[in-house]
Amino acid sequence: MLPQLVNITAITGQRAQGKLTAWQTPNGSLNVEHLAGRGLRGEVLVFYWSPAHNWQVVNVTQKTGATVAGDLTSWQSRVGAFNVEQLAGRAPNGDLLVFAWSPQHDWQAVNVSQKTGYKIAGDVVSWQTPNGSVIVDHLAGRTPAGELIVFYWSTQHDWQAVNVTAKTGVTVTSDLASYVTPDGPNLVEHLAGHAANGHLYVFWWSAAHDWQAVDITAITGRVVVGSPAAWLAGNIAHLGVQGPNGSFLVFWWTPATNWLAIDASAISGEKIAGAVTPYQRPDGAELVELAGARSPSFRKASRTRIPSCDR
């Protein structure tokens, strides 16, 4: 089938700016597709579609009174018998806001900054981990001073925060990427971001140790200028990020090696400008890793097939 284009703005009458976040939920036997983003005046907009109806939109700001100043992240939680759809983003005054909807209630907003005392700059990332039978929701972002803060919530406690910079001594100036890997019986939570000097850091935590940080640039010799994107291919962790002069840098780590890096632009001949979006697809017996990014020419999007790394 040839690719098709649907103009959701023409259907709903609502425009959005910035990057959208996507998720899916069941509604009986139907699957509902969702997109959420920021309107032209900072409104939180949720677009949704199912086989039962065409694209529709709900203005979450009209229901909650809260606007956002950046991109959103999305995740879902199970609370009792109900599935809760959640969004998080930064308010214009730097407060971290979480928006939630479930069959029990319409969209509501929670001010996490008021509960924890930390304001944020830039966008946040989200991830989840189990703690026994309880699922813990996590958000991470940086404060205006560059402190890395991890916020977390579960059905056992309200929103709390830990200052990772206070534990590691490392500040960040970029938005973050998150990923989770197994380590024997433990899960290891990772965050990646860069400092003001362009050094790329990975922060990690598990039940076996508190937050630590490693300077990936000191290991690989590669400095960066963009916010990283993270993905896993089996047990191989990857980070993709813009380097100086628009180069697309790929860092990877395996249990058998320390961090390594390649300049994918030197191989592909394509430079990038801004964020990287990674994805994977099978090609016969091979798993192909790809990444999409905007070209510096602003006239085209670049897609790079990431070369196979020594595993």
Using the predicted structure, report yes or no on whether residue 281 has a pLDDT greater than 60: yes
Residues 148 and 173 sit within 8 Å (Cβ to Cβ): no
Query: Taking residues 185-214, what's their average pLDDT?
Result: 97
User: Which pLDDT belongs to residue 197?
Assistant: 98
Q: Return the percentage of the chain with pLDDT > 90, whole number.
A: 85
Task: Tell me the C-alpha to C-alpha distance, in Å, between residue 195 and each of 55, 56, 148, 201, 298.
Answer: 41, 41, 11, 7, 27
User: Which pLDDT belongs to residue 310?
Assistant: 46
User: Which pLDDT belongs to residue 4?
Assistant: 83
Task: Tell me the C-alpha to C-alpha distance, in Å, between residue 153 and each of 73, 108, 128, 207, 259.
Answer: 15, 16, 10, 17, 31
Query: Taking residues 230-244, what's their average pLDDT?
Result: 95
Residues 131 and 137 sit within 8 Å (Cβ to Cβ): no
Lowest mean pLDDT among 45-49, 80-84, 210-214, 217-221: 80-84
Cα 218 from chain centre:
25
User: Which pLDDT belongs to residue 306?
Assistant: 59
Query: How much is the pTM?
Result: 0.93
Main-chain phi, psi angles of 297, to 5 degrees: -75, -15
User: Which pLDDT belongs to residue 179?
Assistant: 98
Query: Taking residues 211-239, what's their average pLDDT?
Result: 96
